[in-house]
Amino acid sequence: MKKWLILIMYLLVILIGFFNKEHIWQWIQDDGKAHLPLMFLFSAIIATIPVIPFTFFSVIMGAKYGWLQGSFIIWFGGLISCTIYFLLARYLLTDFLKVYVRRFKHIEKFQRMIEKNAFAAVFLARIIPIIPPPVVNIYSGVTAIAFLTYLTATALGKIPPAFFVAYTGGHIMTSWSKLFIVALFYFIFVICILYFYKKWFAEKSSPVPSYTPTRSDD
């Protein structure tokens, strides 16, 4: 996907939101839940189309429905999107998508992570998106990762980011102090996950010392 196209789409969404900010704000303040089931469908569609900024939608969901329901909507859409791309890469567009993901940085490191522990590799990639999520989805599909392993790691790994974005949307206009505290806790959480994983990955990657028999062993 061309970066300029994504940038244009983001700017377009920002402009649309700016010129319709009053209608959006009125909809957010409305306590009705009539559109709640439809938001799950929108979440899956928007998360699957890469040129549409899913983050903006996620913040609005948090502002409209609160951190609990907002998190679930965001998590659901992200999980459906990841599943779709995985299945496309594995069963329909394998050769084309193999060429696509090879262009991205850090893909070799992600491959080594998968070789060490596929579950941990996907789980970490969801919490710390160093590699773009579409690349994680596609590359996981073209490798030998079991679908259940991929799905479980994705489902668990997407919970913290979904909660953080929804909580941000719910408090961005009401309580900056609470938002700062949650952001701080989330930052510490990510640092701890990264630290323990790097320590684990270093231990797994360290060569096993070879045994050289001495004369007394003969």
What 3-state DSSP class applies to 152? helix
81 found inside a domain: yes
174 found inside a domain: yes
Q: How far is CA 54 from CA 48, 51, 58, 77, in A?
A: 9, 9, 6, 9
Report the Cα–Cα distance between both ends of the chain, in Å, rounded: 63
pLDDT at 99: 72
d(CA 129, CA 37): 28
Beta-carbon contacts of 146 under 8 Å, excluding residues fewer than 6 positions away, are 118
Q: Are 148 and 40 in contact (CB under 8 A)?
A: no
pLDDT at 125: 87
215 found inside a domain: no
Give pTM, 2 decimals: 0.77
170 found inside a domain: yes
111 found inside a domain: yes
Domain count, the chain: 1
Domain of residue 148: give its range: 36-204
14 found inside a domain: no
154 found inside a domain: yes
pLDDT at 182: 76
130 found inside a domain: yes
pLDDT at 175: 65
Per-residue pLDDT of the chain (218 residues; tens, 9 = 90+): 556 666 776 677 677 766 776 777 777 777 767 778 899 999 999 998 877 778 888 888 888 888 889 999 999 999 999 999 999 888 887 776 677 677 776 677 777 788 788 898 899 888 887 777 888 888 888 888 899 999 999 999 999 989 888 888 877 666 667 667 777 887 888 788 777 777 766 665 554 444 344 444 44
